[in-house]
A and B are shown apart, each in its own frame.
Chain A
Amino acid sequence: MSIIEIKNLTKSYGNARGIVDVNLNVEQGEIFGFIGPNGAGKSTAIRTLLGLIYPTSGSAAIFGKSCIEHPEVRKELGYLPSEVFYYDGMRVMDLLKYSDSFYKKDCTNRIKELAEIMDLDLKKKIDDLSFGNKKKVGIVQGLLHEPKLIILDEPTSGLDPLMQQKFFELIALENKKGATVFFSSHILGEVQKMCSRVAFIKEGKIIKLEKMSTLQENSYKRIRIEAKSGITKETFNLGGVSDFEIKGDSANFIFKGNINSILKKIAEIDLRNISIEEPDLEEIFMHYYAKEG
């Protein structure tokens, strides 16, 4: 059984687009990345999955059950929304206790432990907290009942780099303990660090679903060459080359495809220098969005 199962899910708001025919499976123990620019439909997909909004067609389930028909499946769910809002006049501890009261187990020690890690003052009023500190409340709130499925919507916005680091360590630890993690982001670096698989969403549609390893390993190379004599664009006029830039005697591009074919081409040139690197996800992402989307 998949922990998250989304089948042919479509959600439209009147005439406005939400998401179109999304298919996804997230397996036990995975850290799954959900990547796309703002407004691509990430939050819509998550909210439909959690039963906050109704699908126009298709289905979404966690632990094999729809959250709308079986709200009790959410007892093993921890959710961090992209923007956290809480009740007026509540102190951090009151809010966390209120959250705790829905799960039928006492998590006071766990709350203290998490607050310690995230450096969060439990006695403060939530209204007085900065955006980043509210986010920390959201993180503790999402993790305090040790859920088996953690869904994070843009988790790091508002956190400083040090806190981001701590946050990712915390998530990695939960994952090690057996939690499945689904997390959406528009920042590729953070997904790259953690995820085992990643889905790209653009304008409401999943345009690519790939293992992180396949994405990074073979298919893409960032190549920089410097030649003794001039390079022309025509030399590299073959399939798989993109983002081609030429500056005097040096060229810079991303290559996708059989590495031998490009090396043969390069071998024809009298080189002064060459570097071949793994492109970061950002570059792959841009490449995809520019071309296939």
Chain B
Amino acid sequence: MTVFLRELKANRKALIIWSVCMILGVMGGMSKYTAYSSGGASSEVINQMPSTMKALLGFGSFDVTQMSGFFAFLFLYLELATAVYAALLGAGIIAKEERDKTTEFLMVKPMSRSSIITSKFLAAVVNTIILDIVTLVSSIGMVAAYNKGKDISGEVALFILSMFIVQLIFLSLGALLAAFMKNSKASGSLAAGLVLIAYFVSMITSLTDKLNFLNILSPFKYFSYSDIVNGYGLSFIIVILSILLVAAFSASTYFFYRRRDLKV
């Protein structure tokens, strides 16, 4: 409990900065919607675009002149940002004691390493949920402000739920890297780098159907966003598989951290 509270406090500043950034991101992104949806020349430009161009920009198969399609397009960037946050957070909670040289303080307390990691994981999940709630509320608010068609709050909530699961994957991956790497200080940069690589993989596989097997490397492709837009919701099997992946990464984090020679 005491580590959990300490961790929440230590991550508070970063969480506030990220929350403000997400609100600004949602506001900035949604303000472009009028340009896409107003019809006339700009819609024409989008319709005339070659499909590869659309895929690279993240439109893919979405109809960005409709609110649900536009949000799906904006969502990819929100998801990328929050995934970077989650990866950095996951690596940070594990690596920070060695980075700040506080291992000789914390790790000689009458507590097992596993219970310390559990507290840290819980605190990180709470942080992630807070950031997601901020993103959800600002998204629903901004969508409502610009939307002239039917209400899509339900879809937005599903988008954010899928984002949370993707974040958990990167959070546990970041933690695993920090627990496994000898130089855990570098784990944050590596984890963020892997997020970007996963993002580029998802861009590339959007270009052609032939590379779909690569999608397994990119959590950004685990959930079908056109299914959400079309009202089919999240695939239950994918949710289960993602959670199993998170469990595997977390279990490995415990495994490696318990055996680690802590640097001081």
Contacts and interface: CB of A to CB of B under 8 A. Distances in A.
B261 A54 contact: yes
Interface in A51-90: 51-54, 67, 71-75, 77, 79, 81, 83-88
A74 B100 contact: no
A52 B100 contact: no
Given A81-B264, A85-B100, A52 B2 contact: no
Interface string B99-142: 01111110111111100000000000000000000000000000
A208 B261 CA distance: 28
B110 A52 contact: no
A50 B264 CA distance: 13
A54 B105 CA distance: 17
Interface stretch (A95-103, A222-230, A245-253): A95-103
B262 interface: yes
A141 interface: yes
B6 interface: yes
Contacts of A71: 110-113
Contact of A50 (B6, B100, B102, B108): B108
A219 to B, nearest CB: 37
B210 interface: no
B109 A74 contact: yes
Nearest to A74: B110
Given A85-B100, A101-B2, A141 B105 contact: yes
B108 A53 contact: no
Contacts of A47: 104, 262, 264
A81 B111 contact: no
Interface residues of B, number: 20
B259 interface: yes
Nearest to A54: B261
B102 A85 contact: yes
For chain A, give the interface size range: 20 to 34
Given A47-B264, A53-B261, A102-B110, A85 B2 contact: no
A47 B113 CA distance: 15
B100 A88 contact: yes
B2 A98 contact: yes
A79 B108 contact: yes
Contacts of B6: 87, 98
B8 to A, nearest CB: 13
Contacts of A98: 2, 6
Contacts of A81: 104-105, 264
A79 B103 CA distance: 12
Contacts of A85: 100-102, 104-105
Contacts of A73: 110
Given A52-B262, A88-B100, 19 more contacts: A52-B108, A53-B262, A54-B261, A71-B110, A74-B108, A75-B110, A77-B108, A79-B108, A81-B104, A85-B100, A85-B101, A85-B105, A87-B6, A87-B10, A99-B105, A101-B2, A102-B110, A103-B110, A141-B105
List of 6 A-B pairs having minimum Cβ-Cβ separation, nearest first: A75-B110, A85-B101, A81-B104, A101-B2, A53-B261, A102-B109
23 contacts: A47-B104, A47-B262, A50-B107, A54-B261, A67-B108, A71-B110, A71-B111, A71-B113, A74-B108, A74-B109, A81-B104, A84-B104, A85-B100, A85-B104, A86-B102, A87-B102, A88-B100, A98-B2, A98-B6, A101-B2, A102-B109, A102-B111, A141-B105
